Amino acid sequence: MTSHPRNIVITGAGSGIGAAAARAFAASGDRVHLVDLSQERLDTVAADLDQVTTHRIDVSDAHEVRAAIESIDVEFGSIDVLVSNAGIFDGLAGIQETTYELWDRIISVNLTGAFNVIKPVSEVMVRQKFGRIITISSIAATRTLPDGLSYDASKAGLEGMTRRLAVDLGAYGITANTVAPGVINTSIQETSHELLGGMIPDTTGGDNIAANANFLETAVPARRSGQPSEIAATIHFLASTGAAYINGEVIHVDGGWIAS
């Protein structure tokens, strides 16, 4: 394990779970490298943190991602933890509503985007013979309602990829695990509508299960939605020395939804 400050790369760090994770690591004295598509959101999160860098990147652009990861490695000498969190939502679109364009964009960010970041980061971690890779999936990978087709597929693919990473990288002192949140109070639906615009069908984009008391009452034993800080706490643990023997796991943080 490296000494402080560790270098932590977090994608989708401009809001929600990514921002909460950034705050958790910063509170531990780590150096946090924030990646997001919105410079405005990055600046807002970074304003409250010490030892932070920001990188406005579209994770679906492999060349752009590699350049940023290489610059972090060159300047700071290590990448100790990756939190691959960047993701967008498809507005609950089923097969009838999912266009080729919508499918391609969701997969390119949620699944290919994760690969684009993990590939160069893993090269750094193999060299240093240490690392923690933490991907952020969703209960949607297992419980496919009430989510959309491309979103479900991207999260299931992310879990499969992470299990294989555990096999490929375990001998180098690297762990790869997935955190699968349930209903969490974030702005992912609003942000996704902002980014995807007309690609999201109007007929499916208005539901917000985080605010649906009836759904929470019947499907989630905790009878409430979760907070980004609760996901961040799990992420922070998986990056710790206490989690060194946890590898290839999917950890649901969902108030008991998966058990119901």
Known catalytic residues? 151
Q: How far apart are CA 29 and CA 25, in angstroms?
A: 7
175 contacts: CB under 8 Å, gap ≥ 6 = 131, 132, 133, 166, 169, 238, 243, 244, 246, 247
Phi, psi of 147 (to 5 degrees): -125, 175
The tokens of 71 are what?
């610059």
Omega of the bond leading into 201 within 30 degrees of 0 (cis): no
Q: Is 221 exposed, middle or buried (0-12, 13-18, 19+ CB in 10 A)?
A: middle
Q: Angle 112-128/100-110 helices, nearest 10 degrees?
A: 20
Closest C-alpha to 253, from 157, 158, 235, 21? 235
Closest C-alpha to 208, from 91, 85, 99? 91
For residue 117, how many C-alpha atoms fall within 13 Å in the half-sphere facing its CB? 34
The tokens of 142 are what?
């297992």
The tokens of 148 are what?
């959309």
Cα separation values, 131 from 68, 137, 160, Å: 18, 19, 19
Cα separation values, 231 from 171, 218, 227, Å: 27, 22, 7
